[in-house]
Amino acid sequence: MAERSFAKEVQHLRIGEGEVFYGEGILAVTKALLQAGVSYVGGYQGAPISHLMDVLSDAQEILGELKVHFEASASEAAAGAMLAASVNYPLRGAVTWKSTVGTNVASDALASVASSGVMGGALVIVGEDYGEGSSIMQERSHAFAMKSQMWLLDPRPNLESIVDMVERGFELSEASNTPVMLELRIRACHVYGSFKAKNNVTPAFTLREAMENPVRDYSRVVLPPSNFVHEVEKVEKRLPAAIEYIRSHKLNEFLGGHKGDVGIVVQGGIYNTLIRALETAGLSDSFGETDIPIYCLNVTYPLIDEEVRGFCLDKRAVLMVEEGQPDYLEQAFNSILKNADIPTKVVGKAVLPHAGEYTGQALLQGLRAFLREYAPHLLKDDKQIDAISVPAEIQKGVANVVPQRPPGFCTGCPERPVFSAMKLLQKEIGKFHVSCDIGCHLFSILPPFDIGNTTMGYGLGWAGSSAFGAKADKRTVAIMGDGGFWHNGLTSGVGNAVFNKNDNILVIVDNGYSAATGGQDILSSRADNKTKSTNNPISRAVRGVGVEWVREVNTYNIGRMKATLKEAMTTAFAGPKVIVAQSECMLNRQRRERPLRDKAIKEGKRVVRARFGVDSDTCTGDHACIRLSGCPSLTLKDNPDPLRDDPVAYVNNDCVGCGVCGENAHAAILCPSFYRAELIYNPSGWDRLLDRFRGAVIRFFQKRGEKARAKYAFGA
């Protein structure tokens, strides 16, 4: 079960020549792949490209009709290795993943296919996860493209440009026998628009033909002496062929005006943001009509020297809008101009931020600084720009007024009680080293848990603590999600620990999905999947590689979870210890159950739903329950008792009835203020009768209590 279904939208992929396609970027990419005659597609989910995998998964029927093979790959490395099919056969293939971490995982395969070269078009669609909304370290794909001699496309974020670059990417790959990378930022993935469609194309050369007519060419195998020849091919044959294709097909665009002594060079992916900044400065309209010459690099590697020289020759200065570090494009432009004795000044990081996302505000400020120095006559409304720009003092003021909102576990998340139990154990035996992993469970490093020392990469949680092999009074604990386990953790973590006789502990959070990337099914998912093999237990896999000490625990049973952790920490058993903490991801559970519940209620059927609450009269106001849980539905409200000042705990209407708050109170021996209630929709006659009986009993004892208090008050 993915984060959302595209079952309805993918039907638009069937439209043909001359029809207009409406939708968002990822749907347009899929349509472009089908129009280009792709033979196979694979990839691994991850922001900002997850929904592309979801679209491909929902479109498997259409892919099958066109004889296109699709795989949800086990990892980015597995996806990258698929491109081997294009080395010896005229098969067009595309793979996709989150960059740069996904590109790092796939680097062995990519470096090999870039060395051997390809016969069929090979396209790598990477989600360029850069900027303030990113969840990873801040790096760019540009360096990888340069070091492996893969051509890097960065299309303008509109559907026509994206679709054109997908189709051109295959042609460029075939013309230069080189795999091509196409990067899409999150806004490009989800930008809405339209384009004139073409007919979908069945591959001219099919996978079946390749399988039945195998081709072997030793010169394409990455082994000596072939690999030495590959390096020469890259420079003397493939690069010139790529440059000629890019130049002759005008993949880069010259936009805006054609005259003036200043200009702007911009990466295609941030063209829209540049236009917004120009519009704010009164130098463009919303559609990009401007008198300032713009050189839009839809291909950021390789650069076309002839185009660079031609654009800069008659200009005093150009503004280089290149997001992130290092400033590869700025250095390359300076080198090209220096070698041609062209004195044009290239201004980039001198006026724009050295690192970080180029927002509209950042570009506006950099644009203004550039024009003040080199074209002050263009700044007719400089005071107006000052008024639009937000002063640093106000920005600081907003930061002080608006509270920080760090990410955290969802309401009812089954991973929260794992760390509640861990925190309770730390209170009992003291702190211990915790090696974290990539996934939802990484939120444990934030308040209120503050658990976790390092994170090294997806599926590397246990490997991240492998150096701690000394005999000590405490063992280390590693955390890993089920998605990370199947991605990389089984071999790099569990297998490594077994082989090296590791004596530490691994907690595998098994919530039934690759939850952090959108809830996609994985090998251990419980749900039946028509096209994938599921229901393969993690416990069986870890025992299969040699782990003897294995425990399976329901995460919501905090007392049991704590006891199991303590057992693992104190047992005399020497060797790797694995705890599989199991409960279904609450988001996916709600996505599945809520529509059914709402439908049943609408149909008048009896439905019972659990809710938890806090008795305000019993709550002491110490808020230990909140510090031990952090559930978004567990919050504060004013104390109803006029004699007490401390606010009391309160469970709001977001509660999904997971029971963690009550379990925490019980396991930590906190105040007995939590209660469980049942909300009954469409109650039966028996429910109504029972409710009246209970109400009568409660009223009887309330009146009796009031009489007793009155009697005591008057001393009767």
> What does the pLDDT look like over 630-643, one tens digit per residue?
888 988 999 888 88
- Residue pair 78/45 in contact (Cβ under 8 Å)? The answer is no
Which of 31-45, 378-392, 414-428 has the least mean pLDDT?
Answer: 378-392
Find the helix or strand (DSSP H, E) in which 262 lies.
strand 262-267
Would you say residue 387 has pLDDT above 50?
no
Give the Cα separation of 667 and 426 in Å (integer).
14
Q: What confidence tens digit (pLDDT) does each residue in 229-274 have? A: 999 999 999 999 999 999 999 999 999 998 889 999 999 999 999 9
Quote the pLDDT of residue 393.
Answer: 56
Longest dimension (CA), the chain: 109
Torsion of CA 603, 604, 610, 614, to 10 degrees: 120
Pairing of strands 607-614, 674-681: antiparallel
Which of 227-231, 293-297, 528-532 has the least mean pLDDT?
Answer: 528-532
Would you say residue 70 has pLDDT above 60?
yes
- Among residues 37, 34, 29, the alpha carbon closest in space to that of 15 is found at 34
Find the helix or strand (DSSP H, E) in which 707 lies.
helix 685-713
Query: What structural domains and CATH numbers belong to the chain?
Result: 9-248 (3.40.50.970), 253-401 (3.40.50.920), 416-588 (3.40.50.970), 604-699 (3.30.70.20)
- Among residues 205, 176, 187, the alpha carbon closest in space to that of 37 is found at 205
Would you say residue 65 has pLDDT above 50?
yes
- Among residues 230, 234, 296, the alpha carbon closest in space to that of 263 is found at 296
Q: What confidence tens digit (pLDDT) does each residue in 427-467 have? A: 999 999 999 999 999 999 998 899 999 999 899 999 999 99
Q: Residue 19: which residues within 8 A CB-CB, separation 6 or more?
A: 196, 197
Quote the pLDDT of residue 161.
Answer: 97
Quote the pLDDT of residue 416.
Answer: 93
Residue type, 664: N
Mean pLDDT, residues 79-107: 95
Query: DSSP alpha helices (H): ranges in 550-681?
Result: 558-570, 586-602, 624-629, 660-667
Q: Give the bridge partners for 124, in sequence order.
A: 95, 181
Comparing 486 with 386, the larger pLDDT belongs to 486
Quote the pLDDT of residue 381.
Answer: 62
Kindly report the three-state secondary structure assignment for every residue of 624-653: HHHHHHCCCCEEEECCCCCCCCCCEEEECC
**Residue at token pair 């109650």:** 683
Mean pLDDT value across the chain: 91
Give the Cα separation of 494 and 502 in Å (integer).
9
Mean pLDDT, residues 511-522: 87
